[in-house]
Amino acid sequence: MSNAADRRAKANAETLARLNASDPVLVDVRPAGEVVPGMTPDMVLTSGRPMGWADYTGGQRQALIYGAVYEGLAKDEADAAAKFAAGKIKIGACHEHGCVGSVAGIYTASMPVFVVENRAQGNRGFCNFYEGASRKRLNYGSYDETVRQALRFIETVLAPVIGAAVKAAGGIPLKPIMTRAVHMGDELHSRNTAGSVLFTRELVPQFLKLQAKEGDRIRQTLEFLQLNEYFFLRLGMAAAKSMADAAHGIEGSSVMTAMTISCRGFAIRVGGLGGEWFAGPHAVVEAQLFEGFTKDDIEWMGGESHITETVGLGGFAQAAAFALQKYQGGSADAMVATNRKMYDITVGESSAFQIPYFGYRGTPTGVDIFRVLDTGTTPVIDGGLAGKGGGQIGAGILRAPIECFQKAAAAYTKRYGGR
């Protein structure tokens, strides 16, 4: 190998080693303003690379406004828009604060977050709570009294009870849950049924200890967990964020460590290229929509739940989750074929997440920007789809735009020389 190629290979091997060594543990549940780095009371976090207020449009702009109103930073929508424009309410990009956002990814200071510590490397990742099964959710650009009540329920009942259980347990290791969930049919992005059940099982012994003090709130919490099979998604996102961030910043690495979507387009971050985001157009999507909707109704409001794909889950574990064909379309054969192609663009395999259909082969892990360009194959992503006017209108399979990888490769070559 040339010196440049040797350096890159070693850096990518170190990146994969850090991903595989990661040990994400849920250690706390706290309001975002208390634990998220750089979070201030007058700030709203959202998905996507950092942008100014004027750059936000459509549903993502509305979600920011609704977040400000919910937090009490503005009296109404017009007041919120004026304060954003004047800089009196600040906007933060989730990834820049150790967080990941589902769809619009709205965080305000009072919203509870999962605090996940990667005990192997000492860093933390954060994610807010799943709002419930309603099609209308703040992260999907909707806000009314039912959405407000759902958010208040999380603040006053769900988060305090789960937080108390986590403390009573001394922390809950997430990697064993995630490993087993993949064996049980989850890919931990668009399917989290097993993960949610396994996590609830970890909570039950602690709930029994807290029963005398928290009886009614524990009952409400268990009812919520029973009804919401996607609850574990946000825990998986926080865990994946802690894993990916631990693998970021390795000099010479050409492995992608984050993907993000905003109303303006797609962007990626690369391990050896610092904090720069490489932007491109929106993803190409194969959609399966709820009844009454068409592709013309799809609106991009943001999204970062594909941090799971970054660490070898989601679309990179499709062959473990054949039940997804009912939710987001496709077929088992197509999932297998797509999953196999992901091995062509990654530097290795996960030591923890294994696909039974492939004889418990580790999932493809660590997307190399140059392998993407050499093969013409871009990362596949499982995800929900937002609609114009707010709300979820379906799900589908997304493919990241190659332009992001072309820009990243050009920057890498400029910085490190020839491949």
pLDDT of residue 329: 87
pLDDT of residue 261: 98
CATH, residue 152: 3.90.1710.10
* Residues 221, 255 within the same domain: no
| Cα 353 from Cα 364, distance rounded (Å) | 9
Tens of pLDDT along 122-161?
Answer: 999 999 999 998 889 999 999 999 999 999 999 999 999 9
| Cα 148 from Cα 223, distance rounded (Å) | 19
Q: Is residue 12 part of a domain?
A: no
Looking at the DSSP bridge assignments, the partners of residue 387 are 298
Q: Is residue 6 part of a domain?
A: no
* Residues 229, 293 within the same domain: no
* Residues 192, 275 within the same domain: no
Instruction: Supply the DSSP symbol for 377.
Output: P
Is the pLDDT confidence value at 1 over 60? no
Q: Decide which of 186, 209, 239 is a domain's last residue.
A: 239
Is the pLDDT confidence value at 377 over 60? yes
Q: Decide which of 239, 259, 286 is a domain's last residue.
A: 239
Q: List the structure tokens of 107.
A: 């965080």
Indicate the SS3 state at residue 115: strand
Mean pLDDT (whole number) for 13-17: 98
* Residues 274, 218 within the same domain: no
Mean pLDDT (whole number) for 28-39: 98
150 touches 137 (CB < 8 A)? yes
Q: Is residue 371 part of a domain?
A: yes
pLDDT band at 417 (very low <50, low <70, confident <90, very high): confident
138 touches 106 (CB < 8 A)? yes
Kindly state the percentage of the chain with pLDDT values over 70: 99
Count Cα neighbours of 31 within 13 Å in the Cβ-side half-sphere: 12
Handedness of CA 240, 246, 249, 250 (dihedral sign): negative
Buried b (16+ CB within 10 A) or exposed e, 330-345: beeeebeebbeebbeb
Residues in the chain: 419
Q: Decide which of 239, 267, 292 is a domain's last residue.
A: 239
Long-range CB pairs of 141-145 (<8 Å, 24+ gap) are 141/58, 141/59, 141/60, 141/62, 141/63, 141/66, 141/103, 141/104, 141/299, 141/301, 141/386, 141/389, 141/390, 141/391, 142/66, 142/390, 142/391, 143/62, 143/63, 143/66, 143/69, 143/70, 143/390
Residue partners of 247: CB distance under 8 A and separation at least 6: 15, 16, 18, 19, 22, 253, 255, 257, 271, 366
* Residues 150, 176 within the same domain: yes
101 touches 240 (CB < 8 A)? no
* Residues 132, 267 within the same domain: no
* Residues 302, 224 within the same domain: no
Mean pLDDT (whole number) for 31-42: 98
Q: Is residue 1 part of a domain?
A: no
| Cα 358 from Cα 371, distance rounded (Å) | 22
Task: Give the structural domain span for 292.
Answer: 250-416
> How many independent structural domains does the chain possess?
2
pLDDT of residue 98: 98
| Cα 40 from Cα 394, distance rounded (Å) | 34
| Cα 244 from Cα 375, distance rounded (Å) | 23
The CA-atom distances, in angstroms, between 74 and each of 51, 54, 66, 78, 89 are 21, 18, 9, 8, 9
pLDDT band at 352 (very low <50, low <70, confident <90, very high): very high
Tens of pLDDT along 262-298?
Answer: 999 999 999 999 999 999 999 999 999 999 999 999 9
Is the pLDDT confidence value at 2 over 90? no
Q: Is residue 216 part of a domain?
A: yes
* Helix-then-strand count for the chain, H and E: 14, 14
pTM (2 d.p.) = 0.97
Kindly state the percentage of the chain with pLDDT values over 90: 95
pLDDT of residue 293: 94
Indicate the SS3 state at residue 120: coil
Is the pLDDT confidence value at 412 over 90? yes
Tens of pLDDT along 152-194?
Answer: 999 999 999 999 999 999 999 999 999 999 999 999 999 999 9
Mean pLDDT (whole number) for 24-44: 98
* Residues 196, 307 within the same domain: no
Q: Strand 90-93 and strand 43-46: pairing? A: parallel
pLDDT of residue 205: 97
pLDDT of residue 419: 63
Mean pLDDT (whole number) for 99-125: 98
Other beta carbons within 10 Å of 28: 17
242 touches 39 (CB < 8 A)? no
Q: List the structure tokens of 71.
A: 């937090």
Indicate the SS3 state at residue 410: helix
* Residues 159, 272 within the same domain: no
Q: Is residue 2 part of a domain?
A: no
* Residues 279, 342 within the same domain: yes
* Residues 47, 191 within the same domain: yes
Q: Is residue 298 part of a domain?
A: yes
* Residues 293, 339 within the same domain: yes
Q: Is residue 13 part of a domain?
A: no
CATH, residue 409: 3.90.1700.10
| Cα 49 from Cα 35, distance rounded (Å) | 21
Q: List the structure tokens of 376.
A: 């013409």
Looking at the DSSP bridge assignments, the partners of residue 287 are 396
